[in-house]
Copies of this chain bind each other. A is one copy, B any other.
Amino acid sequence: MSKRVNTVAILGLGLIGGSLARALRERDFCERVIAYGHREPSLRRGKEMGIIDDYTLDLDEVVDRADILVICTPTLIAANVLAEILPRLEGRDNAPVVTDAASVKGSLMTAAVKACHGEFPPRFVMGHPIAGSERSGVEASRADLYENHRVIITPVKENDPSALSLVRDMWAATGAEVVDMDVAQHDAVLAATSHLPHVLAYALVDALAQTEGSEDVFRCAAGGFRDFTRIASSDPVMWRDIAIANKSALLDAIDLFSDHLGQLRTAVASEDADGMHETFTRAKAARDRFSVILAERGQDK
């Protein structure tokens, strides 16, 4: 029986793209998965590891061969790749569906509209798998990376319904829970739950690293500090680009957080035991509810 989708092309074969390729091949979603990129060694490695069927360094070739093009490059590069691809699809019959996995959607939407003379391209579907790792590269990829994780699709009114449905089906095939969200809401939610925590972890570790006797400071840190700061080991280039791409929502999140921290500082300074107890208790209740959500998904460890 032939499959609905012939060829999925991964543009940028790292952790995200490699894991998608593995999942689609393992779940038999398409006839073949090919990859495109600038760096032949990772592509060759992906083929040797059996993660992809084939690869090319030629953008025209990948656009010709694929039914779905998935841009899996870091956030700012995704906008550049999009600007290269979209003009190649104009006026074409059976143009492939284009989608992405970037962490910020508003800036990508702007880039797409700019690349298409002011109109959003109907067959470009914006998506974002909420999964990752502080590790990166095709070697770190895993077929089960998206299982029981959310993939957020941010549809716009110009979207072709068949393109939306194909992208939703692709992510569902990886075992992910596919949900829709408005572009601005996506960027605000991700700023709060992901981009802000990364900035806070980087700020804390950098502040301590610059303290006198910092080696000893780190030697006295325990499990709480280890978990709290784990994301400060993430790729600096990737997070710099995300911070720039989602600047406005991130600044809002920083300000909301700083406001709450300021209130807690006042409570500490005035030894307001009741105020602290109230805040800590409310936060613990919310975090405990989050633990229940994680346990339901088997992601509590």
B-binding residues in A (CB < 8 A): 130-134, 149-150, 152, 181, 185, 189-190, 192-194, 196-211, 213-214, 216-237, 239-240, 243-244, 247, 250-251, 254-262, 264-265, 268-269, 271, 273, 276-277, 279-291, 293-294, 299-300
Q: Would B150 and A237 count as touching, CB distance under 8 A?
A: no
Of chain B, the residue at the smallest CB distance from A130 is: B222
Q: CA–CA, A289 to B192, complex, Å?
A: 27
- B205, B226, B286: which contacts A286 (Cβ < 8 A)? B205
Chain B residues with CB under 8 A of A257:
203-204, 207
> A277 with B222: in contact, given A209-B286, A233-B287 (CB under 8 Å)?
no
What's the minimum C-beta distance from A203 to chain B, rounded to whole angstroms?
5
Expressed in whole angstroms, the Cα–Cα distance for A209 and B289 within the complex equals 10
Residue among A133, A269, A280 with most chain B CB within 10 A: A280
17 inter-chain pairs at a CB distance below 8 angstroms, sorted by A residue, are A130-B220, A131-B223, A132-B224, A189-B220, A193-B208, A202-B264, A202-B283, A203-B257, A206-B260, A209-B286, A214-B286, A223-B299, A226-B300, A233-B287, A236-B280, A254-B261, A258-B262
